[in-house]
Amino acid sequence: MNRSTAFFFDEMSLWHSASAHALTLPVGGWVQPPVGSGHAESPETKRRLKSLLDVSGLSHHLHMHSAAVANEADLLRVHGREYLQRFKALSDAGGGDLGPQAPIGPGSYEIARLCAGLTIAAVDAVLKGLADNAYSLSRPPGHHCLASDAMGFCFLANIAIEAAKARSGLGKVAVIDWDVHHGNGTQSIFEERADVLTISLHQDACYPPPPATAAKTNVAEVLGWGRTSIFRYRRGVVTTLTCMQ
């Protein structure tokens, strides 16, 4: 049986600018301007992935799509109106620091909405039977973003926005976050919900730093469906994990 994979991408999502940084430090004073984009959350890593798909020929086997920006109703499922207004105002004013390690530039608000829209469209394509599976290559990321605060290069909680939307048509939703960093934003948004399970696999105390990461042990803390499962590891390799059946 032929299976179809949808790939959601828009070049505009790579045009979000965090202004001049050397990794996470703003340029100025004793921090020398780097060669290239410089910021740790660089568009070049994502652009390289898309380029490799194209030159390898794999793109021809994928169903390539862009998407509309996430609408206000979808954003308000997760984020407060005051936060969205503050984000847009700072973006319209040319940018600045929206939160800890969360610098934005001009147009970042619209680009973040596009990123959330790509995520929504990817899941919708699967739920509507238009694809067997889907991948969204979108930027800026979102799993550190809280309901009312940006942090860690994340300005809208992309997957949480989609999970909240998908929940309106499904009984239960699970979000599995596998990253070196704790998906603290997604966890905080859903940790008291009975209809959304969040699972985070991450390096212990990497980011956010304690106490924000709430690291206690290096073993799984399974609190039941609709709560949170946290799998913390030092620097080993997780080979196989059965999260749910």
Q: How far is CA 177 from CA 67, 153, 226, in A?
A: 23, 16, 15
The H-or-E segment that residue 51 falls in is helix 43-56
d(CA 205, CA 98): 23
Report residue 215 as tokens: 């690291």
The H-or-E segment that residue 97 falls in is strand 96-97
d(CA 77, CA 173): 15
Q: For residue 5, what are the β-bridge partners?
A: 133
Report residue 79 as tokens: 């984020």
Active-site residue, selected from the candidate residues 144, 181, 182, 202: 144
The H-or-E segment that residue 173 falls in is strand 173-178
Annotation marks residue 144 as catalytic? yes
Tell me how many degrees the CA angle 18-23-26 measures, rounded to the nearest 5.
Answer: 55
Residues 6 or more apart in contact with residue 208 via CB below 8 angstroms: 144, 151, 152, 181, 182, 184
Q: For residue 175, what are the β-bridge partners?
A: 198
Return the number of other C-beta atoms located less than 10 Å from residue 199's C-beta: 21
For residue 217, give the amino acid letter: T
Residues with catalytic roles: 144
